[in-house]
Chains A and B, each alone.
Chain A
Amino acid sequence: MQVPVLKQGSYLIATVQPAVSDDDFLQLRKSLLDRVRSSRSKGVVIDVTSIDVLDSFACRTLSEIANMILLQGAVTVVVGIQPEVAFSMVQLGSTLEGVVTALDLEEGLAYLDEHRHAQQ
């Protein structure tokens, strides 16, 4: 099950599906890096609303994706982490280091807009 990536203006939106496999996550990393380049995107939203578990591998991969995309000149926001998922992440000791998070897609896009204005 691949993660669909949609283009909206100069942003990319990836919606992670439930029961996403490790390979899907790694595939997402590759396709986002390719797409940021090819579409000259300035921002990426990764929506994890429907994810019921973010284990250490998923957290590390999200953090890697955000950092790699930053090196391509774009900003990543992870949105939609469910409260119980957040609870377990903290217990597990996962921090999503260096990753911007927002409540939902709307907030995530608003953050990217603000970030762009601040840069101009």
Chain B
Amino acid sequence: MDMPAPREAPREAPREACVEVRSDADVIAARQKGREIADQLGFSATELTMIVTAISELARNIVRYAGHGEVRLKIERNHASSGLVVIASDEGPGILDVQKALQDGFSTSGGLGLGLPGVKRLMDDFQIESSVDKGTVITTKKWRR
């Protein structure tokens, strides 16, 4: 007896990823990977755009200030929901005054700004560790509503 053809391929389970970032093409790659995983996790279109915008800003900071680093995308689950964790890390010059970098309008490179206050608003959770000459690690999370 013939087996009925499956109507729809099962949704692929989201996989964690790590994107190495050293050029603006990598910024786009990190963005696309983030979109893919967030989509698989079931985020809404608006949330997807928020996540992808945040990833773009973080990856861009790596290229601009550190030259080289990585964006790791992890999945976190609790009893109520699932979330995407974005970890942007580099071994660049670090941020001298983290508190200041988290204020709107702060900039070290002629009006460009780090965009960190914006990233904080786009995501649910935001942590930053930075030390001068050692580098910066920014961990942000977005939970599915």
List residues of chain A with CB under 8 Å of any chain B CB: 19, 21-23, 52-57, 60, 82-85, 87-89, 91-94
Contact = CB atoms under 8 A, between A and B. Distances in A.
Given A57-B60, A84-B46, A91 B52 contact: no
14 contacts: A19-B28, A52-B35, A53-B31, A53-B52, A55-B57, A83-B46, A85-B49, A88-B46, A91-B50, A91-B53, A92-B121, A93-B104, A93-B117, A94-B118
Identify which of B48, B56, B57, B60 gathers the most chain A CB atoms within 10 Å of its CB: B56
Contacts of A93: 104, 115, 117-118, 121
Contacts of A84: 45-46, 48-50
Interface in B32-49: 32, 35, 45-46, 48-49
A91 B52 CA distance: 13
Closest CB pairs A-B (n = 10): A92-B118, A55-B56, A22-B24, A84-B49, A88-B53, A84-B46, A91-B121, A93-B118, A88-B49, A56-B115
Interface in B76-116: 104, 112-113, 115
Nearest to B29: A19
B49 A53 contact: yes
Given A55-B56, A93-B104, A87 B50 contact: yes
Chain A, interface SS category: helix
A87 B118 CA distance: 12
B52 A52 contact: yes
Chain B, interface SS category: helix
Contacts, number: 65
Contacts of B117: 93
B46 A53 contact: no
Nearest to B27: A22
Interface string B44-79: 011011101100110010000000000000000000
